[in-house]
């Protein structure tokens, strides 16, 4: 399939290149049109939550060789790679490979990795334990999982998605990638920020846009293109960026990004924020974000990624710091606070269906985890519970009370297990999020055995050492140290039968 760009689109950008020549320095507009019609290079990130430790990258590189993938580093993301495949590997969908299914990799367009890199630039040694970071338009989770890698399970990661149909994909990807510190919400981003003023240390607003930069992977992106679309979208973006800015703490930082190219949705939106808060907005230049960033930098310090510069999607990225100014702060914040209902806050707390564990309960669950898995939950988590006959136990990041008192939350943290009258049952979510810190009752399995597990089969093991006090116990399966699944192992003599308890929704045929 070939791409024919709309004539009004080409004429629009030809005119801009002449009337705003300073904005098109070193940009050949005809080359831009040519690149819009070229196939987009595939890219991925390897997940440092799963490929962890000092040799995580080495294990990933070895896996790419086994899969017959040809990789090239993405210069603005330490764990990002462009990917090509040898002919014999092209018939296998990357999404059906073991590295993907076990959360080791995330398919993500290379330019899309840039906003998160910008968000954390200059904070490489920051401790995020008491911080809150938000992704305001999060689905399907590419940037949220990238943020989670940077946080390494510390602090709170609020992932918000307005679309109910996309919420499921977001949660699925967070779970697959072993994200443990997320707080999932389903709000209009403007309303969410208005309910949470002065809350976030860092925010990512990857705003909804006309998507001009995505045409290389979606030839229909410009099918009904009109310059008026950008004006309509910009009105929404201005509301979003103002509300996001007010949700920042003083000294907090916001990254605003789009996958479109026109000024109306990019520069003009950021400039609108500067005009709204003239004494608070500080633009942080991204000229030193990575080697070569100067090729795409604007005079303001924004990144304008034209497809031909890095052979990627088109993108725009701006970074903003919120400086304190009491007069402006109080005026805006008072308007927001006046819209909040204190009775609603109290009602939300009463409706929250979880209770924080007592010291006695906490000791019980901690002892179970230590005895069964040889692990202790990181100190940045707290145990919460719900249920009567069957008690569910969850690991929540510390500090969630601030959020559940003000907003409705769809999902928090990680469910780790259930306490039944017959005993304890560990669930898959614990395996995905905390399996890499377990030191007991684990068995390393082969690639073929992983495929059998995902096909829903039970496994049989020979020469299993039987514990004196137990004939049946929970066993976690690992593949190259990756947590795969948890099941009950029944031992007869020296032979063991592992009963597969992988959730049915995860079952699939692996290549």
Identify whether the C-beta of residue 183 lies closer than 8 Å to the C-beta of residue 412: yes
Yes or no: say if 395 and 416 are a contact pair by the CB < 8 Å rule: yes
Confidence of residue 472 (pLDDT cuts 50, 70, 90): confident
Residue from 3, 16, 7 nearest 263 by CA = 16
Contact 284, 323 (CB under 8 A): no
In this predicted structure, the answer to whether residue 465 has a pLDDT above a threshold of 80 is no
- Residue 184: inside a domain, yes or no? yes
pLDDT at residue 22, rounded to an integer: 76
Rounded to 5°, the CA angle 119-123-128 comes to 90
Contact between 119 and 204 under an 8 Å Cβ cutoff? The reply is yes
Please report whether residue 156 resides in a domain: yes
Q: Please indicate, yes or no, whether residues 369 and 485 belong to a single structural domain of this protein.
A: no
Task: State residue 203's pLDDT score.
Answer: 98
H-type alpha helices, 187-264: 189-195, 227-247
> 162-166, 358-362, 421-425, 467-471: which range is least confident on average?
467-471
Same domain, 223 and 360: no
Closest CA to 39 of 6, 84, 72, 75: 84
Indicate whether 319 and 392 sit together in one domain.
no
Residue 2 lies in a domain: no
Rounded Cα gap, residues 377 and 381, in angstroms? 7
Given this model, what pLDDT does residue 92 score?
87
Round to whole Å and give the CA distance between 190 and 198.
14
> Of 77, 177, 259, 431, which residue is the catalytic one?
259
Do 205 and 113 sit in the same domain of this protein?
A: yes
* Tokens encoding 58: 């080495």
Q: Is residue 230 part of a domain?
A: yes
The set of residues, in sequence order, having a beta carbon less than 8 Å from that of 323 and lying 6+ positions away, is 250, 251, 279, 280, 281, 282
How far is residue 483's CA from residue 493's CA, in Å, rounded to a whole number?
A: 27
Q: Which residues pair with 184 in a beta bridge?
A: 159, 411
User: Considering 388, 409, 438, which residue would you say is the last residue of a domain?
Assistant: 438
Q: Which residues of 394-408 are buried (b: 16+ CB within 10 A; e: fewer)?
A: bbbbebbeebbebbe
Are 355 and 467 in the same domain? no
Q: Are residues 158 and 26 in the same domain?
A: yes
Last residue of a domain, one of 416, 438, 460: 438
Residue 397 φ then ψ, to 5°: -65, 145
**Residue 474, beta-bridge partner list:** 488
Domain assignment of residue 217, yes or no: yes
pLDDT of residue 470: 59
Q: Is residue 53 part of a domain?
A: no
Domain at 496, CATH number: 3.10.450.720
Q: What is the mean pLDDT of the chain?
A: 91
Residue that is written with structure tokens 């045929």 in the block: 509
pLDDT of residue 441: 94
pLDDT for residue 2: 59
Over residues 146-195, the pLDDT tens digits come to 999 999 999 999 999 999 889 999 999 999 999 999 999 999 999 999 99
Cβ distance 244 to 189 under 8 Å?
yes
Decide if pLDDT at 339 tops 60. Answer: no
486/412 same-domain check: no
Angle at 298 (CA atoms; ends 201, 274), nearest 5 degrees: 50
163 and 310 inside one domain: yes
Tell me, yes or no, whether 268 and 359 share the same domain.
no
Q: Are residues 135 and 262 in the same domain?
A: yes
Which residue, 42, 44, 146, 171, is CA-closest to 105?
44
Tell me if the pTM is above 0.85. yes
pLDDT at 340 over 60: no
Q: Quick: pLDDT tens for 44-64.
A: 999 999 998 888 899 999 999
Told to judge if 431 belongs to the known catalytic residues of this protein, a careful annotator would answer no
Across the strands, what pairs with 84?
Answer: 70
Residue 396: beta bridge partners?
382
390-397: long-range contacts at Cβ-Cβ below 8 A with a sequence spacing of 24 or more?
390/418, 390/419, 390/420, 391/418, 391/419, 392/417, 392/418, 393/357, 393/365, 393/417, 393/418, 393/419, 394/354, 395/180, 395/430, 395/433, 395/434, 396/354, 397/155, 397/156, 397/157, 397/180, 397/181, 397/183
With 90 as the cut, is the pLDDT of residue 223 above it? no
Domain boundary among 276, 295, 326: 326
Number of other residues whose CB lies within 10 A of the CB of residue 439: 9
Domain total of the chain: 3
Q: Tell me: the pLDDT tens digits for 99-116? A: 999 999 999 999 999 999
Question: Within a 13 Å sphere around the CA of 474, how many CA atoms are in the beta-carbon half?
Answer: 23
Mean pLDDT of 222-251: 95
pLDDT for the residue 21: 76
Neighbours of 127 (CB within 10 A): 9
Same domain membership, residue 449 and residue 316? no
State the residue for tokens 């590997």.
Answer: 89
**How many contiguous H segments (helices) and E segments (strands) does the chain have?**
17, 23
Query: Is 401 contained in some domain?
Result: yes
One DSSP character per residue, 214-236 reads: GTTT-GGGGTT--HHHHHHHHHH
| Domain extent at residue 452 | 441-511
Q: Do 141 and 237 share a domain, yes or no?
A: yes
Q: How many beta carbons lie within 10 A of that of residue 45, not counting itself?
A: 27
| Domain presence at residue 129 | yes
Q: CATH number for the domain including 137? A: 3.40.50.150
pLDDT greater than 50 at residue 468? no
Q: Which helix (H) or strand (E) holds 46?
A: strand 42-46
pLDDT above 70 as % of the chain:
94
Enter the DSSP assignment of 297.
B
**Could you give the residue ranges of the DSSP H alpha helices within 48-107?**
56-66, 98-101
């Amino acid at each position: 399939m070939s791409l024919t760009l709309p004539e009004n689109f080409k004429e629009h950008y030809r005119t801009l290149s002449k009337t705003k020549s300073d904005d098109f320095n070193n940009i050949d507009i005809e080359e831009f049109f040519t690149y819009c019609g070229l196939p987009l290079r595939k890219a991925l990130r390897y997940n440092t939550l799963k490929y962890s430790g000092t040799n995580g990258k080495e294990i990933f590189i070895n896996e790419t060789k086994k899969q017959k993938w040809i990789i090239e580093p993405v210069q603005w993301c330490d764990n990002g790679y462009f990917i090509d495949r040898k002919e014999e590997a092209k018939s296998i969908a990357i999404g059906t490979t073991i590295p993907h299914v076990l959360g080791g990799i995330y398919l993500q367009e290379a330019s899309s990795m840039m906003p998160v890199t910008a968000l954390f630039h200059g904070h490489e040694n920051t401790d995020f334990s008491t911080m809150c970071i938000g992704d305001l338009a999060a689905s399907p989770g590419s940037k949220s999982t990238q943020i989670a890698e940077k946080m390494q399970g510390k602090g709170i990661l609020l992932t918000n998605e307005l679309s109910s149909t996309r919420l499921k994909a977001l949660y699925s990807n967070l779970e697959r990638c072993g994200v443990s510190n997320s707080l999932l919400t389903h709000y209009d981003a403007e309303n969410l920020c208005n309910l949470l003023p002065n809350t976030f240390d860092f925010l990512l607003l990857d705003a909804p846009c006309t998507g001009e930069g995505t045409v290389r992977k979606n030839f229909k992106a410009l099918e009904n293109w009109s310059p008026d679309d950008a004006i309509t979208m910009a009105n929404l973006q201005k509301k979003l960026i103002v509300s996001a800015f007010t949700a920042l703490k003083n000294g907090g930082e916001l990254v605003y990004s789009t996958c479109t190219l026109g000024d109306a949705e990019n520069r003009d939106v950021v400039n609108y924020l500067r005009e709204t808060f003239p004494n608070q907005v500080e633009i942080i230049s991204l000229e030193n974000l990575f080697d070569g960033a100067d090729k795409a930098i604007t005079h303001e310090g924004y990144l304008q990624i034209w497809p031909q510069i890095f052979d990627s999607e088109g993108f725009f990225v701006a970074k903003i710091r919120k400086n304190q100014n009491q007069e402006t702060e109080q005026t805006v914040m008072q308007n927001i606070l006046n819209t909040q209902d204190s009775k609603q806050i109290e009602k939300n707390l009463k409706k929250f269906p979880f209770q924080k564990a007592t010291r006695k309960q906490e000791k019980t669950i901690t002892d179970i985890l230590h005895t069964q898995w040889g692990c202790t939950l990181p100190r940045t988590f707290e145990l919460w519970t719900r249920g009567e006959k069957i008690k569910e136990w969850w690991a929540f990041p510390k500090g969630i009370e601030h959020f559940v008192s003000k907003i409705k939350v769809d999902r928090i943290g990680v469910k780790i297990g259930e306490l039944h009258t017959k005993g304890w049952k560990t669930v898959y979510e614990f395996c995905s999020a905390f399996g890499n810190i377990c030191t007991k009752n684990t068995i390393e399995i082969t690639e073929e055995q992983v495929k059998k597990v995902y096909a829903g089969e039970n496994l049989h093991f020979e020469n299993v050492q039987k514990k004196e006090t137990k004939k049946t116990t929970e066993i976690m399966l690992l593949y190259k140290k990756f947590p795969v699944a948890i099941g009950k192992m029944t031992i007869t003599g020296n032979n063991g039968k592992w009963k597969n308890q992988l959730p049915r929704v995860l079952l699939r045929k692996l290549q």
